[in-house]
Amino acid sequence: MEDSFFGFNTSLPGLLDEELHDEPGQGLDEEEEEEYDALNDETFGTDAVEGDWEEDHEKLAEITEQSRARCGSYGNDGAERSDEAEHDTGLELEASLAQLVLEDYEDDVIVENGTIGGKLQNHRQESITTAENYSSSAPSGYSVWTPTKHENHLQSTHPITPSILPGKNVVSVEELERGLLSQQHNQHSQALKQQPPLIVPPPPGLGPPAPSSVLRLEDVERDLTANASLPVHLSRGQTQIVQHPDMVLLRNTQNAAAVASLGRGHFPGRLPPPPKAQVLPLGRGQVMLPGGRLVGPSGVHPGLPGIPDLRQLPQQNHRLMGSAPNLLRFIPPHLMVPPGQGQGGKGIPHPAGFPGDNGLLFPNHPLGHFRPGIPHVDQHRPGGQGLYGPRQDRQGAYFSNNRNGGPNTNYQHQNRGAHHHHYNHSNRGGYQSNQEYDEYAGLMTTREKHWLLNIQILQLNTDRPHIDDYYYTVFQSRQPKSEQDRERDRKRDVHRERRDSFRDREPRQDSQPRVYTPAQFENSLGKLQIGSVTAPRKIIDMDVVSTEGLDTVPTSNQRDTKRAKQVLLEIERLYLLLLQIEDLSSTLPGVRESVTEEKPVLIQRIMTSLIQEDRIISVMSIRKGKMLILRLLPHLPATDNGPPQILTLWSRLLRGLVTIGRRDQGSDAVLPRFHPYFHNWVTTLPFAPLLQLVCSMLPAQGEGNTSTPTPTRTTSPVGRNVLSYAFSNKFGVSALASMLSRAEALFPTLDSSQQQDWKGFLSSLFETAAHVASPESLPAPLEPLSTTLASQHFERHECVHIERYALLERIFTRRDSVATAGDKSNENLA
């Protein structure tokens, strides 16, 4: 792994100018074909499929170019921008990758933007927004994707690069590490001679032309020792900046430190020294060489040291504004507090502007205020080594202010309480719990964190909290209320259930077809796979699918299973309708408005489904189905004006009473709860439906839905079955009682034929009752008949023996309480 950096050849090639003229992709291809094809045909070549994103890019290229210059505000909706940038970047990447291989500064070069060898921008006083690699969407303002043209810059970099690449000035990492290692063990003065500090020539805009500013390392060394301005002691991880008239010497002990500590004990010592692939924490727009040579945001710019060259700063103000967090972030490892500190033996004190949590070196005030730090730096600049002393303190103090605002720190404050003996500071400036130095801490700036948090918060925003996040909203609303209120609310909302996307989706189609545009994020390739409430990912629709092959004959068992599943699905569908009905009377905000259909329509839909053949019986066999109908009943009009299906509903229910009743055993029997509704409805019935109703309990001579059946005395087992079962079922006996009372009330109005019909029914009733077991064992009707009413009713049928109707009387007048039962029976007998 040390040999290559992402597959690139990292050894020093002897190539220079001529190769720079090559086709962008050529050099790369030759070397890397077998290992890593960064320029694969799929993406860049002729095989590239013209997908969505490409079209978008092409379309929006012009717009983006113009708009980028115009709007420079962060947070711009720049989906197009990034797309366009990407498209250009594709080509740029080729160029830059080639450039990368050819311009090899020892080993790993991080291509933070695609403009290695790109335009030299340092010297230009561009505002941040017009910088070519500015992307308003990226939190730091700089993006990886820049549309700089490659060819222009080849020439411009020529004067620079060769001058930087004299072989003798460039050392490989191994040499460097060796040097630094030896430095550690030797006296510093000797080490200074041995170690190869690197030269960071000033950027061309400021310093003298590059070639003249490039000195041999040894020369510089001698200069420095002569000036006696060198630090005596460098502790691990420190990087030192020594002021030189023309350039700044950047001594980087980081590698040594890393080597020596083998990862600082974060990992066991097996970790080999941070290889050439060691990535130094750079922000965007920076290219950093492990030797400490820094390249500015414009690309491979050997002269730009970033912070170390402080002359740069005022001119780079704007750039730094945007990239300040990034620029300065790497300072701690490389730019340690001046030697004075080392002497103070403070170990590794807070370097100036150590990034820590928010990763900002200069006082990047949490509110985004950039300015203050820069002037300070200017002030101190001439101070040379004393430079960072005072500044550091200020930064440190300022810094702790910054961190208190971050979301990270809040958590760590709490954390601190919890693990008091582990966390001395809360990761202050990269200090881990054991006071270890984490120099890479704070890579994510506060700004970036806020950016991410904003995205996440955005996803939480909703106009309809009761619908999108029902449980939490209700929970919150209940919290401050008193106990009493909570009780009231609970009772009202007992039937509330979670809304789901199905219901939300449906009404939309009718009103305004809302076009769903998935969220587009900056710098993202292609479209996102986000499911949301309004446009969820494709879900697997619930459908009953047979599991066996088509050629096998489905056995009855499988058919039953299939039928059961279908019933369940139907119940679910009906529930959705029912919930809509219930929502119509909801008090929660926004819920009522979400139902777009009228109540009668919804009721109609439910009823239509329930009326179907045998549907009611299957539905009632399942508890959830029972609850469905139970909850539906209050919404059915209690008068006779209701839909005619109500009659059918009840008829079918009574007819299937045997099955339903049998399934409804146990202490949690739901059927009796149906009775009040039944009773209320029956008391409004005219005679004809009533007759129809009672006939449903008799053996049907043809489905007596429309025609009035003629109840006859029957000894048919079927007819008797329902009736006789009805006696043993609480609901059954209650229903009969209700119907009898209604008939009694209606009796004066009946004509003779109707009366005949009713008598017929009563005869069947008597017949059945005769075979019934002892009446005491039977359940009492929920609305028992008064004795007078009962006797009055039965007496009319003189043909019946008195014992029979006495029995019936007993049955129907019994009350639930045990105490009165005996009295009643005695009373009746008397």
Partner 1 sequence: MSAYPGTATLLEELDKKLMVLLRDGRTLIGYLRSVDQFANLVLHNTIERIHVGKEYGDIPRGVFIVRGENVVLLGEIDKDKENDLPLKKVSVDDILDAQRREQEAKQEQERLLAKALKERGLHYIPDLSHDDMF
Least gap, CB of 134 to partner 1 (angstroms): 19
Least gap, CB of 272 to partner 1 (angstroms): 6
Contact 139, 447 (CB under 8 A): yes
CA of 434: how far to CAs of 145, 264, 269, 273, 481, in Å?
A: 39, 11, 17, 22, 47
Residue 128's contacts (CB-CB under 8 Å, 6 or more residues apart) are 72, 134, 141, 318, 319, 321, 322
User: Tell me, what amino acid is at 258?
Assistant: A
Least gap, CB of 772 to partner 1 (angstroms): 58
Q: Which is nearer to partner 1, 161 or 261 (CB)?
A: 261
Among residues 587, 544, 582, which one has the least CA distance to residue 562? 544
Q: Which is nearer to partner 1, 246 or 469 (CB)?
A: 469
Q: Which is nearer to partner 1, 449 or 565 (CB)?
A: 449
Helix, strand, or coil (residue 249) = strand
DSSP codes joined into one string, 52-77: HHHHHHHHHHHHHHHHHHH---TT--
Half-sphere exposure of 182 (CA within 13 A, CB side): 13
* Max CA distance (Å), the chain: 138
Least gap, CB of 587 to partner 1 (angstroms): 24
Q: Which is nearer to partner 1, 285 or 302 (CB)?
A: 285
Q: Which is nearer to partner 1, 358 or 648 (CB)?
A: 358
Contact 208, 214 (CB under 8 A): no
Instruction: Report the 10 Å Cβ neighbour count for 72.
Output: 17
Least gap, CB of 503 to partner 1 (angstroms): 23
With the CA atoms of 262, 264, 266 and 269 taken in that order, what torsion angle do they form, in degrees rounded to the nearest 10? 30
Between CA 478 and CA 486, with CA 482 as vertex, the angle to 5 degrees is 50
Contact 395, 363 (CB under 8 A): yes
Least gap, CB of 276 to partner 1 (angstroms): 10
Q: Which is nearer to partner 1, 87 or 276 (CB)?
A: 276
Structure tokens at 514: 């809302």
Least gap, CB of 506 to partner 1 (angstroms): 28
Q: Which is nearer to partner 1, 427 or 734 (CB)?
A: 427
Q: Which is nearer to partner 1, 460 or 545 (CB)?
A: 460
User: Tell me, what amino acid is at 262?
Assistant: L
Q: Which is nearer to partner 1, 414 or 555 (CB)?
A: 414
Least gap, CB of 6 to partner 1 (angstroms): 10
Least gap, CB of 3 to partner 1 (angstroms): 13
Residue 737's contacts (CB-CB under 8 Å, 6 or more residues apart) are 781, 782, 783, 784, 785, 812
Least gap, CB of 441 to partner 1 (angstroms): 5
Q: Which is nearer to partner 1, 353 or 355 (CB)?
A: 355
Contact 620, 653 (CB under 8 A): yes
Least gap, CB of 186 to partner 1 (angstroms): 28
Instruction: Give the residues lining the site for partner 1 (CB under 8 A).
Output: 1, 263, 266-268, 270-272, 275, 277-279, 281, 357, 407-408, 410-411, 414, 422, 427, 430, 432-434, 438, 440-444, 448-449, 452-453, 455-457, 460, 472, 521, 528
Contact 254, 237 (CB under 8 A): yes
Instruction: Report the 10 Å Cβ neighbour count for 97.
Output: 23
End-to-end CA, the chain = 107
Least gap, CB of 266 to partner 1 (angstroms): 6
Q: Which is nearer to partner 1, 275 or 389 (CB)?
A: 275
Contact 674, 742 (CB under 8 A): no
Burial of residue 73 (CB within 10 Å: 0-12, 13-18, 19+) is exposed
Q: Which residues of 26-52 are buried (b: 16+ CB within 10 A; e: fewer)?
A: ebbbebbeeeebbbeeeebeeeeeeee
Q: Which is nearer to partner 1, 452 or 542 (CB)?
A: 452
